A and B are shown apart, each in its own frame.
Chain A
């Protein structure tokens, strides 16, 4: 049954990919959705067995790479961390499948879409169930590939092409870091198996294990952790490698819901949580993680407040929440981070899917400034959106409240510089989060209408197939936090059994629960209400003061700065992308590839040999005395070379011939 969880989406994807023509659009939808739903049912059963009954499951199937020291096998590991993620991934995936049946019903390529969705699900499942780094890497790369395929689904659109390539390349940079980390792991631990590595991690955390680089020694585990974290930065869109996430909204909305809300972007967080035994032994890496996570959440939140595209706002919100998760890991509370991951999956998917419903209703209009007043036209969607937004900003006792506020309290009670930094940045982002969520609600649903009449006249609410997932996710957004809070982040819970490891000196859950001053605990609420008021006053109520602020030069510059995402894209393009492109064309293409390698390779060799052939065939002059002379010459040379070899070998070196041959090739051209 465990293997079925992983294999079913693959089977569905094969069926859709290779037999889509025969099954037809409806048939494909039925097959893939059934497969993924079955997978989600099985993962519920697995959750019950593994997490609730505390019996983890290790399956080793077959050897994959066996080469003396380096061996990686096909193996699956189902422990609490894995099954939580299994649950999240499969349920969200099946809901997205159901949603897409109706969303993509008019698209002639929908079999391909379902195939890609299922293959993505399969790779994500491989990633979370892998029991060694190589299998995780396989899943990692696979989801990168699937995300490229899905973002580029409408491949005739140039913006989609560009966005997909950007996503792939930036992910690649992250993957490079991850690969280096895996290699570092292998160097230190001589294996890539999780069980072995985590068991030995404490033994290798002594300072005398280090990597030598430029004559300086770096603590080994720190280096590994930072490299692995670079992978997480790429995949989870942290600051530095984040530019692909907003552009990835070019794909269809179900794609955004699945990949960028619930699953792929959480792969980074999952990996950090999985490698928690490693991260715990390098405090420096944890500090780095905390800083990066905090900065990301702040940056994304500030950028989100002035975006105009509906999906982009939600994307930046994802980015910001990911920053939360990452810095929650950074302060050694992996359980809270995973809990927030689960909650975030629920309400972010809800937000994306309802945004999709809005877009579908408005005939593919995505700009918020051209919508408005949809509350009366799309009441169901409005309700869903409202629930999701409230959950996102941490409205008391909804899902988001239970995880976000715990994260902020923990950051405070860490009492370190990084913890404090994270706390304040996190709190400020709460303010911004609430601001942009309410701005979205106002501009889309509550403000007076700004849209075209033909859009409004064709506006219809979500059909039943799109409504069901929304309803289920809404229930999740409301209740999941409360229901799962005690199981996952309660004091003294043994839910996580062996999967997350926290050093005893880093345990601060009890402290944060009881020793935080009450004012600190109330700060998130205060900031979010403040944010909603500001949003109301800026966007909803007509105010000449705000208008003057908006149109002043300072306001203009501020708007540009935030709207263009802090000019990250421009910096990257001008300084990095341009120089690499020029290098690729001038140096490696012109000079090396078509130049030196061609001359040393095919062109040079064929030209030289033809020339040599003609010259050698001219040696046959036809004169007998020439022939006799050559014979005599040969004889003399043999006598001298073979007889006097002891004297001659002093002057002749074999390497000279090599130089001669290479220069011969170059001279002839």
Chain B
């Protein structure tokens, strides 16, 4: 139980610090902290596979990408210094009201930790974790994702394709004057002809 609160508090604080940090690199590092704490929460929920995937994908790929970009953009620390206090009153009040309403709702302790309870008002749905016993997370995931829910899987793959195309469309220079590396030509250079004696 106490671990839950530890992870939650750390995650919230790191999240706040992501916004508040002046140095962008610090922001990214705090973001990594958020991911780590979230993956800890997932472990607490009993989803081992997801926690690992969180670490691998989010921290290993996404946060590293962020770091690369932040370090390539030469952001001076003074540039992003702004007067936060100007927005504090109104924004703070709206945020507080919002959070209050969320808490009003969340106060009902109805988020099921494990979907094993069957209540009379609910229709029955398949509880996989109960029927098929002692399958690991990974096996469960594989059994479902590629058979029953393959459609969602394919659509997600299309999303990734779009991301790929988008990156290329937005950033790649395709004009003929751009110098580009062509590995085959590089490998097929005839060394004898690279240097000529003129005089």
Contacts and interface: CB of A to CB of B under 8 A. Distances in A.
Interface of A: 629, 632-633, 635-636, 639-640, 643
Interface string B89-109: 001001101100100000000
A643 B105 CA distance: 11
Contacts of A639: 98, 101
Interface in B51-98: 91, 94-95, 97-98
Which of B91, B95, B98 neighbours the largest number of chain A CB atoms within 10 Å of its CB?
Answer: B98
B97 A636 contact: yes
A629 B91 contact: yes
A640 B91 contact: no
A626 to B, nearest CB: 10
A633 B97 CA distance: 10
Contacts of B98: 632, 635-636, 639
Contacts of A629: 91, 94
Contacts of B91: 629
A304 B35 CA distance: 114
A640 B97 contact: yes
B94 A643 contact: no
Given A629-B94, A636-B94, A639-B101, 4 more contacts: A632-B94, A636-B98, A636-B101, A643-B101
Contacts of A632: 94-95, 98
Interface string B9-21: 0000000000000
B94 A633 contact: yes
A377 B97 CA distance: 109
Contacts, number: 16
Contacts of B101: 636, 639-640, 643
Contacts of B97: 636, 640
Interface in B94-151: 94-95, 97-98, 101
Nearest to A638: B101
Kindly list the 10 A-B residue pairs having the minimum CB-CB distance in the complex, ordered from nearest.
A636-B98, A639-B101, A636-B97, A633-B94, A636-B94, A632-B94, A640-B101, A629-B91, A632-B98, A640-B97
A640 B104 CA distance: 11
A581 B91 CA distance: 61
A345 B91 CA distance: 93
A639 B101 CA distance: 7
A636 B101 CA distance: 8
A471 B95 CA distance: 105
Interface residues of B, number: 6
16 contacts: A629-B91, A629-B94, A632-B94, A632-B95, A632-B98, A633-B94, A635-B98, A636-B94, A636-B97, A636-B98, A636-B101, A639-B98, A639-B101, A640-B97, A640-B101, A643-B101
Contacts of A640: 97, 101
A631 to B, nearest CB: 11
B51 to A, nearest CB: 30
Contacts of A633: 94
Nearest to B96: A636
Contacts of B95: 632
Nearest to B95: A632
Nearest to A626: B87
Nearest to B98: A636
B181 to A, nearest CB: 37
A648 B167 CA distance: 49
A640 B97 CA distance: 9
Nearest to A629: B91
A529 to B, nearest CB: 105
Nearest to B93: A636
A633 B98 CA distance: 9
Nearest to B101: A639
Nearest to A633: B94
A639 B95 CA distance: 13
A625 B167 CA distance: 25
A62 to B, nearest CB: 70
Nearest to A625: B87
Nearest to A639: B101
A378 to B, nearest CB: 101
A629 B94 CA distance: 9
A630 to B, nearest CB: 10
A492 to B, nearest CB: 98
Nearest to A643: B101
A641 to B, nearest CB: 11
A636 B94 CA distance: 7
A63 to B, nearest CB: 65
A639 B97 CA distance: 10
A635 B94 CA distance: 10
B161 to A, nearest CB: 27
A643 B91 CA distance: 21
B101 to A, nearest CB: 5
B27 to A, nearest CB: 16
Nearest to B102: A639
A643 B101 CA distance: 9
A186 B98 CA distance: 65
A640 to B, nearest CB: 7
A644 to B, nearest CB: 9
Contacts of A636: 94, 97-98, 101
A636 B95 CA distance: 8
Which of A629, A632, A636 neighbours the largest number of chain B CB atoms within 10 Å of its CB?
Answer: A636
A632 B95 CA distance: 8
A635 B102 CA distance: 12
A643 B97 CA distance: 13
A643 B100 CA distance: 13
B84 to A, nearest CB: 11
A127 to B, nearest CB: 76
A635 B99 CA distance: 12
Contacts of B94: 629, 632-633, 636
A91 B91 CA distance: 93
A639 B104 CA distance: 11
Contacts of A635: 98
A113 B91 CA distance: 83
A643 B94 CA distance: 16
A635 B97 CA distance: 11
Nearest to B90: A629
A332 B105 CA distance: 89
B30 to A, nearest CB: 19
Contacts of A643: 101
A636 B98 CA distance: 6
B13 to A, nearest CB: 21
A383 B95 CA distance: 109
B91 to A, nearest CB: 7
A640 B93 CA distance: 14
A643 B98 CA distance: 12
B38 to A, nearest CB: 22
A572 to B, nearest CB: 69
A634 to B, nearest CB: 10
A633 B95 CA distance: 9
A57 B71 CA distance: 110
B2 to A, nearest CB: 32
A293 B147 CA distance: 109
A432 to B, nearest CB: 92
A629 B91 CA distance: 8
Nearest to B97: A636
A640 B91 CA distance: 16
B19 to A, nearest CB: 11
A657 B98 CA distance: 26
A621 to B, nearest CB: 13
A632 B94 CA distance: 8
A633 B94 CA distance: 7
